[in-house]
Amino acid sequence: MGYGGFREGGFNRQFSAPVKEGQEIEVKIEAVGEKGDGIAKVDGFVLFVPNTKVGDEVKIKITRVLRKVGFAEVVGKASAPVAAKEEKAEKAEKPAKEKAEKPAKEKASKGKAKKKEEEVAEVVEETEEEEEEGENF
């Protein structure tokens, strides 16, 4: 399930993106797309950020929001480590019981790395298709 709705069964429920055009946020670049743009995620929503590399922690301005992905430009460096902000938010949300399960989750997340790469590749492909469709109109 993505931000554009389901393709199977003709069900086309629309989701709103967790970001808006013009919004400025701080993100960590998680991957690099086929065309060299950095890729960050906000609540699972993919953002393409040119002129960045994996590990960069930057402040970005959202320039375009599509159904499944968005585009942004760098406006500066992150004011604090983005990973620390994410961890702080997660700790505030997780009960103590889940903290005890963290080592098991870390093992599971290593197996998810390949799946994450596949998801990014799929989103990149869909984005390129959407851009091509937009150019044809």
| Interval 63-96: pLDDT, tens | 999 999 999 999 999 998 886 556 555 555 555 5
Task: Indicate the pTM of the whole model.
Answer: 0.57
Query: Nearest 5 degrees, angle CA 126-CA 39-CA 125?
Result: 15
Length of the chain: 137
* Residue 119 pLDDT: 76
Q: Give the number of domains in the chain.
A: 1
Residue 111 lies in a domain: yes
CATH number assigned to the domain comprising residue 121: 2.40.50.140
The three-state secondary structure class of 106 is: helix
- Domain containing 102 equals 18-135
Residues of the chain where predicted confidence (pLDDT) is lower than 50 = 1, 6, 8-10
Q: Give, as one character, the DSSP assignment of residue 14.
A: -
